[in-house]
Amino acid sequence: MLLEGGGFDLDPALQDRYRGEVVGRPYYSLEATRLHYFGGTTGHWGGFCAPLDPVDFSSRSWVPGSGWPFAPETLEPWYTEAATLLELQPGGWAPSDAEETNAPLLPVSSDALGHKLWRFSPPTRFGSRYRNDVVRHHHIQLLTHAPVVSLRTTADGTALDHLVVRQPGGHTVRIRAQHFVLACSTLQNVRLLLSSNDHLPAGVGNAFDQVGRGFMEHLEMPVGTLALMRPQDMQRYAYDWGVTRERVELQLPVEVQRRYGLLNASFSLDPATAGSALVSTFDREPPDVLEAYRQDTRSGMTSELRAAALAERRAHDVNTVRRSPFFTVMTRQEQAPNAASRVTLSNDRDAWGVPRARLDWQLTALDLHSMREGTRALGRALGAAGVARLQLVDWLAADAPAWPERVSGGWHDMGGTRMHADPRKGVVDADCRVHGMANLWLAGAGVFPAGGAANPTLSIVALALRLANHLSATM
């Protein structure tokens, strides 16, 4: 049985359930970042895909709390299957595995700087792409407009007994099952676990005060301007919205990360528009713009939009670069695991009587150090290779380390229900089962113990497929 809190399209009254408080660093409106309807947030995602890097799974001495409870190979087969569901170009994930490899990569020393391959989904809108598959599936019973408002445990608090569903009309239904999977998004999973406290006063899975802790984002920031020293074909670095299927970005090798004590990050290069200011994703993609984008692309990309995107596709050849050798450098950096960055419950309640989420997003000194020193390491590597010079944005060039007023993220809510073998350090085990609960599993980026430098969707889908396989073998 699949319970969907929303319907097949957005309903403002239902979407309002996702509204919440932001009490830490400035963050997007919580009701704008996630979509409460069939297909969820794939309704407005951008399609950026890459698997987590092997270093993301390792326990790094310079990143407290890092490490996944399994090796990267564990997810590999599921990444392949997830890539198919997300309609990506097939193939491995080394830059040499790209379909188009005719254009050269920047000639940098591999000891100092590497490349990371990204692939782009059309983007697949799960709500439209897989609706019929789900509705017609013999083994799936889909209930829409069935928001879960509470998890009820057995009296001893070691298993879920049933879910409480309160339909928009006020009708309440109890759903019993042998196995339960919560896949309501990072914040909403936390909210349900914490607010379901009939037999467990601290909430479900929260015996060690771990639920809600370790909220993470990807720090997506413009960090500087790059000037190429020689004209070069930049086709493989280019990204044109709705058109590009693969591109490469720059990445500091693990040894460099270790030497300078850096978090993982990926640097993209986009042709700079002369005279334009570098803007954060906060400013470039406010919720109303995103909503307009979602409306326009609700069934993938319409042929009209794709034609427009093709028409606007920019040249990235040698001649273009000769005319303007300047590129904007954007970083997508992982956030250090941080117990103080957390989701708790607000005193305010939604129309269903459920406490709203309260987000206290916090960064650490390691996040800032990585942004400053990682960008400088990039500039040194490019300079040593004779490839380019890098101009840092003002706040990174300043003598005193300090964040700018706005630190922007990628709309990637991660953590809060971290995966860890030790129940004192995480909420779910390596199989995504909630510690202390015999029959409750979590899906979504909330279980990520470390977020890496890759956008989360591919890993979310891979983990969901792995969980489905696990449950199928268990049941």
Partner 1 sequence: MGPILQRMRDRATLALTRRALLIQLATLVVQGSCAPLPESTAEWQPHDLLRTFGREQVVAFGRSWLSRSPQSRRRLVSRLRSNGPDVTQQVAADFGRGRVHLIDGWMLSETELLQCALVALHGAAGAP
List residues near partner 1 by CB under 8 A: 224, 227-230, 325, 376, 379-381, 383-386, 389-394, 397
Closest to partner 1 by CB, 224 or 446 = 224
Closest to partner 1 by CB, 190 or 390 = 390
Tell me which residue of 365, 374, 362 sits closest to 453, measured CA to CA: 374
Closest to partner 1 by CB, 315 or 385 = 385
Closest to partner 1 by CB, 24 or 383 = 383
Nearest approach, Cβ of residue 270 and partner 1 (Å): 18
Closest to partner 1 by CB, 228 or 428 = 228
Give the C-alpha separation, 204 to 207, whole Å.
8
Closest to partner 1 by CB, 207 or 393 = 393
Nearest approach, Cβ of residue 272 and partner 1 (Å): 13
* Bridge partners, residue 120, by sequence: 48
Tell me which residue of 441, 427, 465, 398 sits closest to 209, measured CA to CA: 427
Closest to partner 1 by CB, 70 or 260 = 260
Q: Name the DSSP class of 278.
A: P
Nearest approach, Cβ of residue 140 and partner 1 (Å): 55
CB of 98 closer than 8 Å to CB of 227: no
Q: Where are the strands (E) in 52-166, listed by range? A: 114-120, 142-143, 148-153, 160-166
Nearest approach, Cβ of residue 93 and partner 1 (Å): 29
Closest to partner 1 by CB, 204 or 329 = 329
Nearest approach, Cβ of residue 115 and partner 1 (Å): 19
CB of 159 closer than 8 Å to CB of 153: yes
CB of 449 closer than 8 Å to CB of 420: yes
Nearest approach, Cβ of residue 259 and partner 1 (Å): 12
* Bridge partners, residue 162, by sequence: 152, 176
For the chain, the farthest-separated pair of C-alpha atoms sits apart, in whole angstroms, at 72
Give the number of other CB atoms < 10 A from CB of residue 315: 14
* Residue type present at position 460: I
- SS3 label, residue 434: strand
Closest to partner 1 by CB, 233 or 413 = 233
Residue 246: phi and psi, rounded to 5, are: -150, 150
Nearest approach, Cβ of residue 389 and partner 1 (Å): 6
Closest to partner 1 by CB, 63 or 381 = 381
Q: How far is CA 62 from CA 68, 259, 262, 366, 372, in A?
A: 15, 9, 8, 9, 16
Give the C-alpha separation, 461 to 444, whole Å.
8
132 exposed, middle or buried (CB, 10 Å; 0-12, 13-18, 19+)? exposed
Tokens for 297? 């692309």
Nearest approach, Cβ of residue 365 and partner 1 (Å): 21
Nearest approach, Cβ of residue 384 and partner 1 (Å): 4
Give the C-alpha separation, 467 to 220, whole Å.
29
Nearest approach, Cβ of residue 227 and partner 1 (Å): 5
- Name the one residue in this structure whose structure tokens are 């998890």: 151
